[in-house]
């Protein structure tokens, strides 16, 4: 669509990068608002969010590199300017950010683990939804060919140069499907918050519904370089593999924390 929003001299302002910044600020604002419901300090939430953002950026690119290497991509392509520009594999970012979340709270940040997780995840879902609009603008994470009335045809050569996006072919706007799915995840979490039966329930619920949503939307993904055919099954992509893992993690946390309702 519009990989480069505009240029200032010779410096291009990428639409993806701008939307990623908006996603971070919007997600953090929602997390702080949710945190206030449980008396969490907004400044502590912001500090944690910044650490998780850095981890998410690194984790997204790392998972993308690992998948490319496993798939036999040439080193010159894996470690290239295109890799630096690419957003990466979103679930790699979530995995890394979750690891940093647990690590920082175990170190003692003045934030209780479970209710902090409950506060953060609606903002994470919102950030993902906005970030997917960045993917749509850049042309990355594109869909399979489609002849539906809402199919999108990419024409900007930069989209092909940066992400290998097919040009002139109508595709499923799977990035927008993911945006809708992430907004639905956010809505589910916000609606469930007043009915929370135990601390950590919203955090666990996020992994359940996010994983399910990703398993479904992978149906229309067309960028096969993200990793497909795991364990010899053509349908098992990296997104579906991590989506199933997320659902298992969410279910495990739900059961474990439900049995420990009286602790934090």
With b meaning 16 or more CB within 10 Å and e meaning fewer, what string describes 168-203? eebbbbbbbbbbebbbebbebbeebbeebebbbbbb
Q: For the ranges 9-18, 37-46, 78-87, 248-257, which has the lowest average pLDDT?
A: 78-87
CB 165 within 8 A of CB 137: no
Work out the mean pLDDT of the chain and round it to a whole number.
86
Q: Please write the tens of the pLDDT for every residue from 76-93.
A: 665 555 555 555 677 788
Q: 210-223 burial, b if ≥16 CB within 10 A, otherwise e? A: bbbbbbebbebbbb
Distance CA 137, CA 1 (A): 5
Q: Locate all alpha helices (DSSP H) within the chain, ordered by sequence.
A: 15-36, 42-70, 75-78, 81-85, 90-107, 113-138, 157-163, 174-192, 201-217, 238-258
What is the rounded CA–CA span in Å between residue 128 and residue 178? 8
Give the model confidence (pLDDT) of 37-84 as tens digits.
Answer: 999 999 999 999 999 999 988 888 787 777 766 666 666 665 555 555
- The larger pLDDT score, comparing residue 261 to residue 97, is at 97
Q: What is the pLDDT of residue 72?
A: 65
């Amino acid at each position: 669509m519009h990989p480069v929003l505009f240029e200032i001299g010779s410096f291009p302002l990428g639409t993806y990068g701008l939307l990623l910044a908006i996603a971070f600020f919007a997600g953090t604002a929602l997390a702080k608002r949710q945190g206030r419901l449980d008396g969490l300090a907004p400044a502590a939430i912001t500090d944690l969010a910044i650490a998780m953002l850095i981890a998410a950026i690194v984790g997204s690119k790392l998972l993308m590199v690992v998948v490319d290497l496993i798939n036999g991509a040439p080193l010159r392509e894996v470690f290239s300017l295109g890799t630096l520009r690419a957003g990466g594999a979103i679930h790699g970012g979530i995995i890394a950010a979750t690891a940093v979340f647990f690590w920082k709270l175990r170190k003692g940040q003045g934030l209780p683990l479970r209710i902090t997780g409950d506060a953060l995840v609606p903002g994470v879902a919102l950030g993902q939804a906005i970030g997917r609009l960045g993917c749509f603008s850049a042309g990355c994470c594109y869909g399979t060919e489609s002849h539906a009335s809402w199919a999108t045809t990419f024409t900007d050569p930069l989209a092909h140069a940066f992400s290998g996006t097919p040009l002139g072919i109508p595709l499923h706007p799977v990035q927008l499907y993911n945006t809708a799915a992430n907004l639905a995840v956010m809505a589910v979490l916000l609606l469930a918050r007043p009915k929370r039966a135990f601390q950590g329930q919203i955090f666990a619920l996020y992994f359940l519904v996010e994983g399910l949503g990703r398993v479904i939307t992978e149906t229309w993904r067309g960028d096969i370089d993200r990793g497909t055919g795991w364990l010899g099954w053509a349908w098992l992509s990296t997104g579906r593999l991590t989506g199933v893992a997320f659902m298992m993690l969410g279910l495990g946390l739900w059961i474990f924390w439900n049995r420990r309702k009286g602790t934090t």
